[in-house]
Amino acid sequence: AQYSDADVDRFFDVAISLVERAGILVLHAFKQPSSKVTTKSSDTDLVTETDKAVEDLLIQGLSKEFPDHKFIGEESVSSGQKFELTDAPTWIIDPIDGTTNFVHRIPLLGICLGLVIEKQLKAGIVYNPISGDLYTAKHGKGAFKNGFPIRVSNTDALNKAVICTTLGEHNFKDHGEKYLDTALSNHRKVVLSGARGIRTFGCSSINMIYVAQGSIDAYIEYGLRCWDAAAAAVIVKEAGGYLIDPTGGPFNLMSRCLLCAGEEKLAKEISSLFTHAKFEPESEAVYY
C-alpha cells in the first residue's frame, strides 16, 4: 500500500491522543513516593509497572484503530531478538525513555513514539509529562515544541558548544572489556575536548530534544537501541539538525550509534575526536 501525508496525519493524531493518556499514567506514578522496580539484564537495566502499562496502552490503542500496523516496543521484545521489518507502518515505542530517572524521580524522561513506513522514518513524538512538554515532527513538515516551531543552534566551534553524551549504563556492562576501554578513552577525550560544557542527562530522547531546540549543541552515543532514537531523530532532522552514524555513513536508526548536532562542522569535529565502536545492527537499515 502507498501511504499519503493525510494517512500519516491520521496515524499521528491517534498517536498523540494516546501519548497524552499515557502521560497521565506516568505523571501520576511520578508523584507517588516510589514505584515497584524490577531489574532486567543487570542492576542498571530497570523496568517498572508504568513502563509496561504505557507500552500496553499505546500498542492496544494503535492496533485497535489500525489493525495492520506493526510494533517494536522496548518492553515487548525479547532480548537478543532481531527485528523483522516489513514495509507496513511500524511504531517504534519507548514507553518511558529514562526509566532510571523515573525511578529516582529526576524529571527528565520521554514517552517516545516513532513511525516508520517502508523503512523510512516518517514521524516522531516525544512527550515529557512531568514538564508538560510535547515535541512533535513529521517528515518534511518541521519540528514543534507545544505547537511552536523549534530550531537547532548554529554553534559550530567546540569551545562555544555544550555537548552531551552518556556515562556508564549499558555501554560498559553489555559489551565487554574491549568496549569498556573504548568508552573510557572516549570519556577522557570528551573531558579534554575543550567544550564549553559537558552534560549527561540519562535520557537519550531528552538529549536529542535539547539538540533540536538548540539548548545543547551536539550529542553522541554508542549502543543505543532503535526505540531510544526513533522519535527524536525525526524531531532533530526537522529542526534543521545534522544527524549521522558516527561509525560511518548517514544516520541509520538500526545501527545503534548516533551523533547529532546543530551544525555539520561541529559534528565532524566531535566525530574526529572519538574512537568509534561498531555494533551489530538491529535489523535492515532504516533511514530518515
Binding residues for Mg(2+), as ranges, are 74, 94, 96-97, 228
Which is closer to Ca ion, CB of 94 or CB of 282? 94
CB 51 within 8 A of CB 30: no
When CB distances are held under 5 to 8 angstroms depending on the partner's kind, the choice from ligand IPD, Ca ion, none that residue 255 binds is none
Residue whose Cβ sits closest to Ca ion: 97
Nearest to 155, CA basis, from 224, 94, 222, 216: 216
CA 10 to CA 1: how far, in whole Å? 16
Q: Sign of torsion, CA 5 123 269 284?
A: negative
Tell me which residues in 53-92 interact with Ca ion (CB under 5 A): 74
Contact with ligand IPD (CB under 6 A) among 20, 65, 133, 169:
169
Least separation in angstroms between residue 45's CB and Ca ion is 6
Strands (E), 2-142: 37-39, 46-48, 70-73, 90-97, 110-117, 120-128, 133-138
Residue 139 cell numbers, joined? 517528515
Residues 44-83 as x/- pattern, contact with ligand IPD by CB under 6 A: ----------------------------------------
Q: Which residue lies nearest ligand IPD, judged by its C-beta?
A: 204
| For the chain, the helix, strand and coil percentages under 3-state DSSP, each to the nearest 5 | 40, 25, 40
Chosen from Ca ion, ligand IPD, none, partner binding at 137 (C-beta under 5 to 8 Å by type): none
> Which residues define the annotated binding site?
74, 94, 96-97, 228
| 94 touching ligand IPD, by CB under 6 A | yes
Integer-rounded Cα Rg, in Å, for the chain is 18
Angstrom distance (rounded) from CA 71 to CA 124: 14
Pick the piece of the chain touching ligand IPD (CB under 6 A) from 21-29, 76-84, 97-105, 267-275: 97-105
Residues designated catalytic: 74, 94, 96-97, 99, 228
Q: Which residues contact 106 (CB under 8 A, 6 or more apart)?
A: 98, 100, 202
170 binding ligand IPD? (CB under 6 A): yes
Q: Taking CB within 5 to 8 Å according to partner kind, which of ligand IPD, Ca ion, none is near residue 166?
A: ligand IPD
Give the shortest CB-266-to-Ca ion separation in angstroms. Answer: 25
* 202: contact with ligand IPD by CB under 6 A: yes
3-state secondary structure of 217: coil
DSSP run (H or E) holding 64: helix 49-65
97 binds Ca ion (CB under 5 A): yes
Binding site for ligand IPD (CB under 6 A): 94, 97-100, 166, 169-170, 202-204, 224, 228
